[in-house]
């Protein structure tokens, strides 16, 4: 049934502007290709992969208006490429294409940062706002770029990625939380999409890559504010709810092996067992992955195998 639904999505999706894994055609194409490949239907899988790769012409076009962020932009397309290469052998996406996409994302960030005199060597705007969080901002873009680090040059890493991480560190509030965007000084949102939970994953990965203890310290501070303020009445979702905040402690446990974070992840999971009881809002898409019940189930399943747990559509 899943294969039938995905194939229908892949064939009936009309908009070529929506080129990301989560909200566009790339997700159905990539998932269907992986499924067909696992069923030994290699030719059918290859057709979908070729279609996905053909979207790169639009993604790489500077005049296309494609943003760079995760949910609707180039970082979301990059996730699709990395996802295919991590699930199909031999890897179907050429290194050259991935290098073109990461360079396009970095060059776009350099151009925007330069023209707008940003203090960060990389900066991006979505709907005229310089978001810094995981869903629409700099953190999410850097997270995907770090996962694609084998395709980056040392100059890109040393001159742009790492200094941008240091810039983000300076924005952290004394509470451990982060603003949602540049110029916004409200210490309010503690979500994966905006705030400390999304930042925690980034700085855990940055610590793994660069072995800089300050990155781990930043991630730990994100964990503390999430523990204090992360049981949200807004809902249970992984995007802006308790399940997504629970991944904060999964990431910290994976990187530190400190049992404190296992306990905290379990307590957030326990909160999710009372689904619907604690929220004061109903999600627009109550069964969806990022806003609804599917994401909560995904989180609870990941709690059963923490060594394999990955934030969906974000961790490769």
| Residue 122 CA: distances (Å) to CA of 178, 184, 265 | 18, 18, 33
* Beta bridge mates, 260: none
Which residue, 110, 56, 112, is CA-closest to 80? 56
pLDDT at 191: 96
Which residue, 176, 190, 174, 301, is CA-closest to 250? 301
Which residue, 242, 229, 239, 230, is CA-closest to 269? 242
Low-confidence ranges of the chain (pLDDT < 70): 1, 3, 7, 10-17, 276, 278-281
Cα separation, 316 vs 310, whole angstroms: 8
Which residue, 120, 153, 151, is CA-closest to 137? 120
How many C-beta neighbours within 10 Å does residue 280 have?
A: 8
pLDDT at 286: 81
Give the predicted TM-score (pTM) of the model: 0.95
Cα separation, 22 vs 261, whole angstroms: 28
Which residue, 186, 195, 203, is CA-closest to 230? 195
How many C-beta neighbours within 10 Å does residue 116 have?
A: 11
Which residue, 285, 200, 207, is CA-closest to 23? 285
How far the first Cα of the chain sits from its last, in Å, is 25
How many C-beta neighbours within 10 Å does residue 194 have?
A: 27
239 is in an annotated binding site: yes
Cα separation, 155 vs 70, whole angstroms: 23
Residues in the chain: 316
Q: Which residues are within 8 A (CB) of 2 and not within 5 positions of it... i.e. 6 or more apart?
A: 35
Q: Assess contact for 171 and 187: CB atoms under 8 A.
A: no
Whether omega for the bond prior to residue 243 falls within 30 degrees of 0, making it cis, is no
How many C-beta neighbours within 10 Å does residue 224 have?
A: 16
């Amino acid at each position: 049934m899943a294969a039938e639904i995905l194939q229908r999505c892949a064939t009936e999706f009309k908009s070529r502007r929506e080129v990301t894994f989560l909200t566009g055609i790339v997700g159905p194409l990539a998932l269907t290709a992986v499924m067909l490949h696992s069923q030994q239907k290699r030719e059918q899988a290859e057709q979908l992969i070729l279609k996905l790769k053909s979207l790169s012409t639009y993604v790489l076009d500077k005049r296309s208006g494609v943003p760079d962020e995760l949910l609707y932009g180039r970082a979301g397309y990059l996730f699709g490429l990395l996802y295919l290469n991590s699930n199909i052998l031999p890897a179907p996406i050429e290194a050259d294409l991935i290098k073109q996409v990461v360079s396009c994302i970095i060059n776009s960030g350099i151009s925007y940062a330069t023209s707008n005199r940003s203090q960060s060597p990389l900066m991006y705007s979505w709907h005229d706002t310089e978001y810094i969080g995981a869903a629409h901002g700099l953190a999410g873009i850097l997270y995907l770029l770090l996962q694609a680090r084998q395709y980056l040059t040392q100059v890109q890493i040393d001159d742009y990625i790492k200094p941008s991480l240091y810039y983000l560190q300076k924005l952290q509030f004394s509470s451990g939380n982060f603003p949602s965007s540049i110029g916004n000084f409200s210490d309010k949102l503690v979500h994966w999409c905006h705030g400390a939970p999304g930042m925690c994953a980034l700085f855990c990965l940055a610590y793994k890559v660069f072995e800089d203890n300050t990155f781990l310290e930043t991630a730990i501070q994100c964990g503390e504010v999430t523990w204090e303020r992360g049981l949200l009445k807004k809902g249970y979702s992984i995007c802006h709810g308790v399940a997504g905040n629970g991944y904060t402690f999964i990431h910290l446990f994976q990187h530190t092996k400190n049992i404190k974070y296992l306990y905290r992840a379990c307590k957030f999971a326990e909160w999710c067992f009372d689904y619907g009881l604690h929220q004061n809002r109903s999600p627009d898409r109550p069964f969806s992955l990022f806003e609804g019940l599917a994401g909560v189930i995904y989180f609870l399943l990941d709690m059963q195998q923490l060594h394999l747990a990955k934030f969906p559509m974000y961790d490769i």
